[in-house]
């Protein structure tokens, strides 16, 4: 059984050394949990899917689900505290000490240099998930069309999900109806 202190330590490390928030944390969380053998790749993908569909902050949701998987309610609380505490302390220190330096050219250049790294930290897990899960041409087409609609047309992902849900349900029902009719015709002859 995984100790609560180990869960706290791992999630505090993740929370303390990840710049960019939720999506940037995905590969780091996966790496930390995988190298310890705490959660399988399939379980991790399920956790990511659940966390994206649940309201709230992705990193906190992932901590809750992973911690719960490891040690139940206590594990989810400890993992969440571990994830949030380093950020909370950092923000508190920044607010107290560094607001006077916000217009400093060195500080501005540092944050300008960090932004491209954060973008890659977000893009890499999304590309990996797409490569693992998109096994057919139509799955890639849906992913690409959704990306264009959200990123460039400004359409809410919620509307895209609702349309996909309706279309997938209609297609499944049509296919089942067609298959039933084919099997029914074959038996009558």
C-beta of residue 76 within 8 angstroms of C-beta of residue 63: yes
Are 49 and 128 found together in one domain? yes
Are 101 and 157 found together in one domain? no
Residue 82 in tokens: 């571990």
Residue 25 in tokens: 């944390």
Are 40 and 106 found together in one domain? yes
Residue 63 in tokens: 């901590």
Q: What is the pLDDT of residues 46-71, one digit of tens each?
A: 888 888 888 888 888 989 999 999 99
Q: What is the pLDDT of residues 13-26, one digit of tens each?
A: 988 877 766 677 78
What's the structural domain count of the chain? 2
Q: What is the pLDDT of residues 103-161, one digit of tens each?
A: 888 878 888 888 888 788 777 777 877 787 778 888 888 888 888 998 899 998 888 88
Are 140 and 129 found together in one domain? no
Whether 185 has a pLDDT exceeding 80, the answer reads no
pTM of the model: 0.56
Spatial CA neighbour of 21 closest among 91, 113, 92, 103: 91
Burial of 143: CB neighbours in 10 Å, binned 0-12, 13-18, 19+: middle
Reported residue count of the chain is: 189
Determine the structural domain holding residue 122 and report its residue range.
4-133
Are 43 and 126 found together in one domain? yes
**Which band of pLDDT confidence, cut at 50, 70 and 90, is reported for residue 5?**
very high
Q: Point out the domain boundary residue: 89, 110, 133.
A: 133
Are 106 and 71 found together in one domain? yes
pLDDT of residue 189: 47
């Amino acid at each position: 059984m995984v100790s609560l202190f180990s869960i706290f330590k791992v999630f505090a490390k993740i929370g303390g050394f990840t710049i960019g928030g939720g999506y940037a944390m995905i590969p780091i969380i996966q790496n930390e949990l995988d190298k310890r053998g705490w959660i399988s790749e399939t379980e991790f993908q399920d956790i990511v899917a659940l966390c994206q569909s649940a309201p709230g902050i992705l990193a906190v949701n992932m901590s809750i689900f992973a911690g719960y998987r490891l040690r139940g309610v206590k594990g989810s609380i400890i993992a969440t505290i571990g994830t949030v505490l380093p950020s909370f302390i950092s923000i508190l220190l920044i607010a107290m000490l560094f607001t006077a330096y916000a217009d400093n050219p060195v500080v501005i250049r540092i944050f300008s240099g960090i932004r491209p790294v954060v973008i890659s930290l977000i893009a890499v897990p999304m590309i990996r998930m797409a490569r693992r899960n998109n096994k057919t041409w139509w799955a890639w087409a849906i992913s690409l069309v959704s990306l264009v609609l959200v990123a460039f047309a400004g359409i809410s992902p919620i509307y895209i999900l609702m349309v996909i849900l309706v279309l997938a349900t209609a297609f499944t029902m049509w296919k089942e109806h067609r298959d039933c009719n084919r099997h029914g015709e074959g038996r009558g002859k």
